Structure 1
């Protein structure tokens, strides 16, 4: 059995330097994608229903719990 995994990171960029650092780290990882454009961030909560795990605080934490997801908060 082959387990295929994918990590989607969705969020608003608060620090461009941090984004550049993350992009450098994941640039060769085909199973990691960053979704940081406004089109994804405006309705990011709509993507929670399609996830297996949610990492977040505040509203994203509560919405993840309401969907019965595994939720981790920093």
Structure 2
């Protein structure tokens, strides 16, 4: 009878570990996608890319290789 319970305990342990690994994988997948979005937003803000009319007026037509309407500044 004791052997039966030992096997049951091992099965429960294996199920718990499997479930935890699955949760870990799901959480990691969610975090990595969200962190990529956050990193991109952070870098855009850090570099200082903004779109406004003043930048478009300053750049004018064909005066720069950068797209019209964007300004770029690097913050430290």
Indicate whether the TM-score tops 0.5: no
Q: TM-score range by the shorter chain?
A: under 0.3
Q: TM-score with structure 1 length normalisation?
A: 0.23
Greater share of strand: 1
Greater share of helix: 2
Q: TM-score with structure 2 length normalisation?
A: 0.22
